[in-house]
């Protein structure tokens, strides 16, 4: 088992490009990670990484070893998954990621119940609104809110989630009520945007009489936390685009009101993503099924104000 753990550590160091990052990923210390790599190099009789004070790069031997090592671990993981499926007793640790709004409202509340039903499965839940590299970050599955890009990940679509442009009455009183997307741009409304490293320039795609159209919006406030944007909107700092499930209560009590209703945003898609080699794992399958059912039930029970419901998707 020690040799398998050494291989697993090697793969994460190779993929993350950092001994400390790999150590965090494997829930251990950099010293242990370095010792495992050293032990593996001693066993193979070659150096797998070139180390400097600023960088860690795989050697040619390291690159050669990576592909074979990845196949070995995939075979082991699949064999363990087959055994657990046969015994009907999934166990192990699940590494899961979700956007902040989805994670806080849907996933996290359902985790304790799942743990009671499957006591041999531990959950490591990571919440972030940034774009997640599911494979590169060693995740078993990730919940994704937004457009899906082509990849080798297994995708389970959960639901189309209506969205709304909204602002506090105080903002509307000060800046006026924009009728549509064109007014957002023309009148330079303060739009609250989600910003994270690598994010593209802000464009809101809204449904016009001529079909979906992108509007370049701007504003003085940005954050990488979607709930922060909601808080700013409640404080009258600007207009925010949100899935309705995140702001339904604020809309019901009038703390936020829909704006630019002539050009509503298209729904966004909630999905569950899993690396292909993890998809057969029984603990991944059980968690996925339970959470998808929970998300669908929660969305179905959501009391969405009728005037804020979005049109059907056209793409």
CATH code of the domain in which 258 resides = 3.40.190.10
Residue 116 has a pLDDT of: 93
Helix axes 282-300, 108-117, angle to 10 degrees: 130
Nearest to 139 by CA among 124, 128, 156: 124
> Quick one: 189 and 146 in the same domain?
no
- Give the domain extent around 200: 163-266
Q: How many domains does the chain have?
A: 3
> Quick one: 250 and 276 in the same domain?
no
Is the CA virtual torsion 36, 39, 44, 47 positive or negative? positive
Look at residues 86, 114, 139 and tell me which one is the last residue of a structural domain: 86
Task: For residue 211, give every residue at least 6 positions away whose Cβ sits within 8 Å of its Cβ, in sequence order, or none.
Answer: 314
Look at residues 86, 121, 149 and tell me which one is the last residue of a structural domain: 86
The reported pTM is: 0.70
> Quick one: 146 and 278 in the same domain?
yes
> Quick one: 188 and 240 in the same domain?
yes
Q: Calculate the average pLDDT of the chain.
A: 86
Q: β-pairing, 203-208 with 211-216?
A: antiparallel
Q: Average pLDDT by consecutive 10-residue portion of the chain (315 residues)?
A: 84 85 82 89 89 82 86 76 64 90 93 94 90 83 84 86 95 95 95 72 84 92 92 96 93 94 92 81 90 90 60 45
* SS3 state at 194: strand
> Quick one: 37 and 52 in the same domain?
yes
Residue 312 has a pLDDT of: 46
Asked if residue 309 is part of any domain, the answer here is no
Phi-psi sector, 135: left (phi>0), alpha (psi -120 to 50), beta: alpha
> Quick one: 71 and 28 in the same domain?
yes
> Quick one: 170 and 259 in the same domain?
yes
With residue 228 as reference, give the H or E element that holds it. Answer: helix 226-234
Asked if residue 55 is part of any domain, the answer here is yes
> Quick one: 155 and 194 in the same domain?
no
Asked if residue 307 is part of any domain, the answer here is no
Asked if residue 237 is part of any domain, the answer here is yes
Q: Provide φ and ψ at 98, rounded to 5°.
A: -155, 155
Asked if residue 223 is part of any domain, the answer here is yes
Asked if residue 29 is part of any domain, the answer here is yes
> Quick one: 254 and 287 in the same domain?
no
Residue 23 has a pLDDT of: 84
């Amino acid at each position: 088992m020690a040799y398998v753990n050494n291989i697993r550590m090697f793969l994460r160091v190779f993929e993350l490009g950092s001994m400390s990052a790999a150590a965090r990923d494997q829930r251990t210390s950099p010293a242990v990670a370095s010792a495992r790599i050293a032990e593996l190099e001693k066993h193979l009789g070659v150096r797998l990484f070139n180390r400097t004070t600023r960088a860690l790069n795989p050697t040619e031997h390291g690159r050669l070893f990576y592909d074979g090592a990845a196949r070995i671990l995939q075979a082991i993981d699949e064999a363990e998954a087959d055994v657990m499926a046969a015994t009907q007793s999934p166990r192990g640790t699940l590494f899961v990621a979700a956007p902040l709004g989805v994670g806080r409202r849907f996933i996290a509340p359902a985790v304790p119940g799942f743990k009671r039903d499957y006591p041999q499965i531990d959950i490591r839940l990571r919440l972030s609104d940034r774009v997640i590299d599911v494979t590169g970050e060693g995740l078993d599955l990730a919940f994704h809110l937004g457009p899906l890009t082509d990849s080798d990940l297994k995708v389970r679509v959960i639901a189309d989630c209506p969205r709304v442009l909204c602002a506090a009455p105080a903002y509307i009183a000060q800046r006026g009520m924009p009728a549509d997307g064109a007014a957002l741009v023309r009148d330079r409304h303060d739009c609250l945007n989600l910003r994270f490293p690598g994010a593209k320039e802000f464009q809101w795609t809204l449904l016009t009489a001529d079909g979906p159209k992108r509007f370049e919006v701007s504003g003085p406030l940005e954050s990488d936390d979607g709930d922060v944007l909601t808080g700013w909107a409640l404080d009258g700092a600007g207009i925010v685009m949100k899935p309705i499930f995140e702001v339904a209560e604020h809309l019901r009590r009038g703390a936020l009101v829909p704006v630019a209703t002539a050009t509503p945003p298209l729904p966004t898609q909630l999905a569950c993503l899993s690396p292909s080699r993890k998809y057969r794992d029984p603990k991944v399958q059980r968690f996925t099924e339970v959470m998808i059912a929970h998300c669908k039930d929660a969305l179905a029970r959501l009391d969405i104000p009728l005037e804020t419901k979005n049109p059907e998707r056209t793409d």
